[in-house]
Amino acid sequence: MSSKLFVICIGGSGAKCFEAITQLAAAGLYNEQSIEVLFVDPDEANGSMERARRSLNTYQQCQRLMGGEQRQANVSWMQTPIKSYDLWSPFADQPFNRELSSFFQYNSIKNDSPSLANIFDVLYSPEERVQQLDEGFRGRPSIGAAVMSQINLDQLDKAPWGSIIQEIKNATGGGNNPRVLLCGSIFGGTGASGIPTIARLLSNKFEKEGIRKSVRLGGLFLLPYFSFTVPPGANTNGIYASADQFLLNTEAALRYYVTQASSLFDTVYLLGNEDTTKVDFSVGKKTQSNRPHFIELYAALAARDFLLQDRQDALMLVARASGGVLNWDDLPDGAVVRRGLVNAARTAYLWLSDIQGELEAIRTSPGNLPPWAKPFYDAKDPVFRLDADSQQNEIKIINSWSADYLRWLRDVHQCDTDQVRFFNHQMFSTKEKLSELVIDDPRDPKSKQRQDGIPWIKEELRRQKSTDNRRGGVGLATSLYLNTNI
């Protein structure tokens, strides 16, 4: 049995990394073992977190369709189930007053131990002590470290921590070595404070359970790759993150890792970009929803490497051939990754630009099926009638996944500092030639002409043998995927 991957996503950047992992899972770039994820963030309404959870929900619905009893063998698309333990906040048991002073019961400390209160006064400014932290740690690792340090092993026995730790323990059976990957930025507040603190807690817990040597613990650290400026008159609502502090925060985090936390991790990935993308200023909550970035694609590929490779004392480097441009050859394991991303993109594109429109046009007359749809739908069969509620629901779910996958790919290309050259993403919302979808397509012209002709693809669908395990929307989408593979 292959290893199992558990991902702890800390902060908004950690959530964006898992958004990318979700999209790569759809492209069949992991394995058939389930991936299990826990999101950690004090800002429970973080916009990037909400988008990652929506993408995950969309993927889970589609994967359950494609990965159920009708799943065809040797189809990597949607092969990876993903289980979520949802979101945990260090303030989960403190739903109202989330000031730092309240969290540490400052007033009681001041009465009972004035000297300890004086230390607290030295470490934190008056503004920091009374700042509401329901929008995150405001780019202050010192605040985040204080809050995260209060997590204890007893809390890790409660849901969701107790549940995911038990699953990790179960996954060590049979001589397996489950992978536990912590990911987030180290230049803000939540990730910089949460990754080393939670790593230490988990490592101690695994030692206590007697499984530490059986668990591979990894860290995925994002270095600065975006920045922002505070517009005049912006409502900062107290203290706020400053992009000017990102490099200082990063240096401090790396120094801490080298001196205090290096023994915690079996594997570490560092990812960053020389030129930082400009994003809109936000103190947190729904407005903190930065567009996906290609660094998060690399993060998802690092998670893939962590899962699929056994590296012992290895130093792995990845770099681009030229600055400012990102091509297929710049991706690790480029040929395999390109094939996965391209095949999923071709399927989603053809489904939205052609298939779903025709299905909608004939929905009210299910007996009028075009030849390519007849192997999958049957007006005389109540289960596989095109207008059956179950079939319309399948189409809706496939529509949602296709739109979300192409949305993520489009966003990854829209980087203001670098030219990303994977897809002609302007085509995603049009009905252009399928042969022009992929940049630097290595196929010869004859292969393109044959494989990209929509009439040819539909003829292949028409020839599909009509069997119960490949009928309905699931059978159609799977057959479309198989017949658009390149």
Q: What distances in angstroms separate CA 37 from CA 52, 255, 393, 485, one per listed residue?
A: 11, 28, 26, 29
DSSP per-residue letters across 343-409: HHHHHHHHIIIIIHHHHHHTTT-TTS--GGGTTT--TT-TTT-TTSHHHHHHHHHHHHHHHHHHHHH
Task: Of 151, 46, 52, give the one whose Cα is nearest residue 92.
Answer: 151
Q: How many CB atoms lie within 10 A of CB 233?
A: 6
Identify whether 343 is part of a domain: yes
> Taking a C-beta distance cutoff of 8 angstroms, is the pair 212, 334 a contact?
no
State which amino acid sits at residue 162: G
If DSSP codes are grouped into helix, strand and coil, which group holds residue 180? strand
Per-residue pLDDT at 121:
74
Rounded CA-CA distance 158/47 in Å is 26
- Quick one: CA torsion of 104, 105, 111, 114, rounded to 10 degrees? 10
Are the C-beta atoms of residues 172 and 215 closer than 8 Å to each other?
A: yes
Task: Indicate if 127 and 168 belong to the same structural domain.
Answer: no
Are 147 and 118 in a shared domain? no
Same domain assignment for residues 475 and 409: yes
Look at residues 132, 156, 190 and tell me which one is the last residue of a structural domain: 132
The confidence score (pLDDT) of residue 281 equals 41
- Asked which of 88, 117, 132 is the last residue of a domain, the reply is 132
196 sits in which H/E element: helix 190-209
Please indicate, yes or no, if residue 323 is contained in any of the structural domains: no
Residue 325 within any structural domain of the chain: no
237 and 157, same structural domain? Answer: yes
Residue keyed to tokens 């929509």: 454
Can you give the residue range of the structural domain that contains 470?
336-484
Do 263 and 340 lie in one domain? The reply is no
Task: Please check whether residues 57 and 193 belong to one and the same domain.
Answer: yes
Judgement on whether residues 456 and 474 belong to the same structural domain of the protein: yes
- Please indicate, yes or no, whether residues 106 and 202 belong to a single structural domain of this protein: no
- Residue 24 phi/psi, 5-degree rounding, is -70, -30
Same domain, 106 and 90: no
- Name 63's Cβ contacts closer than 8 Å, sequence gap at least 6: 25, 26, 78, 80, 81, 82
Q: In the prediction, which pLDDT does 251 show?
A: 73
Domain CATH code at residue 302:
3.40.50.1440
The angle formed by the CA atoms of residues 318, 319 and 320, to the nearest 5 degrees, is: 140
Q: How far, in Å, CA of 366 to CA of 388, rounded?
A: 9
In a domain, 324, yes or no: no
- Show the tokens assigned to 441: 């397509």
Q: Are residues 293 and 254 in the same domain?
A: yes
Residue with tokens 């119960």: 468
Q: In the beta sheet, which residues pair with residue 326?
A: 420
Q: Which residues of 382-420 are buried (b: 16+ CB within 10 A; e: fewer)?
A: eebbbebeebbebbebbbbbbbbbbbbbbbbbebeebeb
Q: What does the pLDDT profile of the chain (486 residues) look like in tens digits?
A: 578 999 999 988 899 999 999 999 999 999 999 999 999 987 777 788 899 999 999 999 999 988 765 566 678 999 999 999 999 887 766 655 567 666 767 678 878 888 877 877 777 767 766 666 666 566 566 666 666 766 766 667 778 999 999 999 999 988 789 999 999 988 766 777 788 888 888 999 999 999 999 999 999 998 887 664 555 554 555 555 555 566 676 776 677 777 766 788 999 898 888 776 765 544 445 545 688 999 999 999 999 999 999 877 666 677 787 888 999 999 999 899 999 999 999 999 999 999 999 999 998 887 889 999 999 999 899 999 999 999 999 999 999 999 999 999 999 999 888 899 999 998 887 776 888 899 998 888 888 878 888 899 999 999 887 555 578 999 999 999 999 988
414: left (phi over 0), alpha (psi -120 to 50) or beta: beta
Pair 231, 281: CB distance under 8 Å? yes
Q: Do residues 398 and 432 both lie within one domain?
A: yes
Q: Is residue 474 part of a domain?
A: yes
Cβ-contact 327, 440 below 8 angstroms: yes
Same domain for 237 and 174? yes
CA distance 66 to 344: 13
How far is it, in rounded angstroms, from Cα 461 to Cα 475? 10
**Within a domain: 434:** yes
Q: Cβ distance 70 to 41 under 8 Å?
A: no
Judge whether 106 and 129 are in contact, CB under 8 Å.
yes
Q: What is the pLDDT of residue 112?
A: 80
Task: Answer yes or no: is 79 within a domain.
Answer: yes
Sign, CA torsion 290/295/299/301: positive
In 430-457, which positions are buried (b, 16+ CB within 10 angstroms) versus exposed (e)? Answer: eeeebeebbeebeeeeeebeebbebeeb
Nearest to 66 by CA among 55, 56, 54, 81: 81
Total domains in the fold of the chain: 3
| pLDDT score recorded for residue 228 | 46
Q: Pick from 274, 292, 318: which residue ends a domain? A: 318
* Sign of the torsion angle spanned by Cα atoms 474, 479, 480, 482: positive
